[in-house]
Amino acid sequence: MNSYDFNGRVAIVTGGGQGIGLTVAERMLASGGKVSVWDRDQKLVDALAARFPATQLQVLNVDIGDLASVEAATARVVAQFGRIDILVNNAAIVGPNANTWEYPPQAFMDVVHIGLVGTFFVSRTVIPHMIAQNYGRIVNLSSVAGKEGNPGAPAYSSTKAGVLALTKSMGKELATYNIAVNAVTPAVAKTTMAMSQAPDFLKMILAKIPRGRMLELSEAAAMICWLATEENSFTTGAVFDLSGGRATY
């Protein structure tokens, strides 16, 4: 396993109570970083808080779809750690599986609000702190669904396509600062969120992966953590593939 230098760095990981977000947070903590994990599931953040000292880990119950909640949480990160160097926008929901003309309107709005509007809320609130210190690394979690679209998942596909466009906009806006903004596009991984989808849907998207298996959480964390390091000093506004060969661009 490669080692990353996060000594002296402070990261926010949204949706960090489980899955890819948790694996990223654990790797950053093991690499000397200080991490604020945001999740709206209180049981998950409580379980994580018991494993690490408060001097290194902060856990907050945050709804990223609520701007006031995001602003309050950001203030608490700065109050405890004094700075914000890294933001991993990981939080999202997948919603039900249904064709577009049958998709529940409220479910569509919920998926987009958390995954896209929430990513905007967090980025909008955190970026000024990075600009003030002329340093930052932002990694947005999109999906191969955002590149190609998955049938039966119009809300999630639309959300993740929007995250890619937001990444490119922010990358250009922040290019004159020492702030890199990039996205990753994972294929399906064995997370609670992914496994909540219909079995036939999971079988269909797994069949699209030339590697013939799901993405490992550690594989996702390895790429995300490198993008969050100081060493990633030139690339910005880019999309890094984690689709096991599925994506064609």
Q: Contact at 8 Å (CB) between 203 and 34?
A: no
Which of 4, 135, 156, 249 is catalytic? The answer is: 156
For residue 4, tell me if it sits in a domain: no
CA 156 to chain centre: 14
144-190, pLDDT tens digit by residue?
Answer: 999 989 899 999 999 999 999 999 999 999 999 999 999 999 987 77
Q: Is 156 a catalytic residue?
A: yes
Q: Residue 57 belongs to what domain range? A: 10-241
Q: How far, in Å, CA of 16 to CA of 111, rounded?
A: 18
For residue 109, tell me if it sits in a domain: yes
For the chain, first and last CA: distance in Å? 28
Q: How far, in Å, CA of 183 to CA of 199, rounded?
A: 28
For residue 246, tell me if it sits in a domain: no
Q: For the chain, give the number of residues.
A: 249
For residue 2, tell me if it sits in a domain: no
Instruction: Check which CATH number belongs to the domain holding 71 and give it.
Output: 3.40.50.720
For residue 248, tell me if it sits in a domain: no
Q: Number of folded domains in the chain?
A: 1
The pTM of the full predicted model, rounded to 2 decimals, is 0.93
179-193, pLDDT tens digit by residue?
Answer: 999 999 998 777 766
**pLDDT band, residue 194 (cuts 50/70/90):** low
Q: How far, in Å, CA of 185 to CA of 56, rounded?
A: 29
Is residue 36 over pLDDT 80? yes
For residue 211, tell me if it sits in a domain: yes
| Axis crossing angle, helix 217-227 with helix 19-30, rounded to the nearest 10 | 60
Place of tokens 């922010």: 170
